[in-house]
Amino acid sequence: MNYRVLFAAALYTGIAAPGLSAQGVVVDAGTFAVSIGGVPAGTEEFVIRRPGVGREDALFANGTVALTLPEGRQEMRPLLHAMPPDGVAVRYQVSATGLDAIEVQVARSGRRYLATIRSDVGAEDREFQAHRDTRVLERHVAHHYYFLRNVRTDRPVHTLEPRAGIQGLITAGEPVQVTIRLGLNEVQSRRVSFTTDTGENRTVWFDRQGRVLRVAIPALRFVAERTDLVG
């Protein structure tokens, strides 16, 4: 199955098909400025859509992440099909060019995710366990944290990092209401500290609509901050 064609068709249907324009909703869209180690490293542009209703309801998130790292340049194009309202992963595809070039396609099949991984060293098929709450959290992709906005503090959720082939758990801490500055604007936000089962901390700031404003991952020296909402 060609998932690139499948996802592109689904995205097209959600925003342009006759009779669906009133139903298709852009949940969020924007741009992040990315820094690594305190140094500007690139940008992430993304859009999250919810094009259907009833049985056709779904979430589609796609973006372009362009980074200049000490090791070289990299461009990623992630494309996620998830179940509303929480964003549990159904299908996923990511293509990375430049540094660490790779293409990964993942599809849920019953209790498994079936993955095909293609890189310079060849092709590999892998399987991952599928849980009812699995979220895709790709490294260096900030908009994926939108799908953690409603995670309960007493209920860890399963995660899948497809390019690295890593599965794990992530737990949300108690949210804290804080004011952050984006450009010239002071924005009320909900700061949530997440902890992985390996002890890694990831802090995310959400606005009142659940949009991701900022992501900080100290272990990666990674910070992504919205630039389209600044004044």
Phi, psi of 9 (to 5 degrees): -65, -40
> Is the Cβ–Cβ distance between 192 and 202 less than 8 Å?
no
Alpha-carbon distance of 96 to 63, in angstroms, equals 12
pTM of this prediction exceeds 0.85: yes
Task: Please say if the pLDDT value at position 99 is more than 70.
Answer: yes
Q: Peptide bond before 18: cis, by omega within 30 degrees of 0?
A: no
pLDDT digits (tens, 9 = 90+) for 51-90: 877 767 899 999 999 999 889 999 999 999 999 999 999 9
Write out pLDDT tens, residues 118-174.
998 899 999 999 999 999 999 999 999 999 999 999 899 999 999 999 999 999 999
Q: What is the pLDDT of residues 27-42, one digit of tens each?
A: 999 999 999 999 999 9
Q: Are strands 25-36 and 222-226 parallel, antiparallel or unpaired?
A: antiparallel
The β-bridge relationship of strands 59-69 and 135-136 is: unpaired
Give me the half-sphere count of Cα atoms (radius 13 Å) on the Cβ side of residue 165. 11
Residue 96 identity: A
**Whether pLDDT at 211 is above 70:** yes
For residues 186-197, average pLDDT? 96
Q: Would the pLDDT of 221 be above 50?
A: yes
Q: Which helix (H) or strand (E) holds 5?
A: helix 3-16
Average pLDDT over the chain reads 89
Residue 15 has pLDDT above 50, yes or no: no
Phi, psi of 187 (to 5 degrees): -120, 130
pLDDT on residue 229: 85
What is the rounded CA–CA span in Å between residue 43 and residue 77? 12
Amino acid, res. 186? E
For residue 180, is pLDDT > 60?
Answer: yes
Does pLDDT of 207 surpass 80? yes
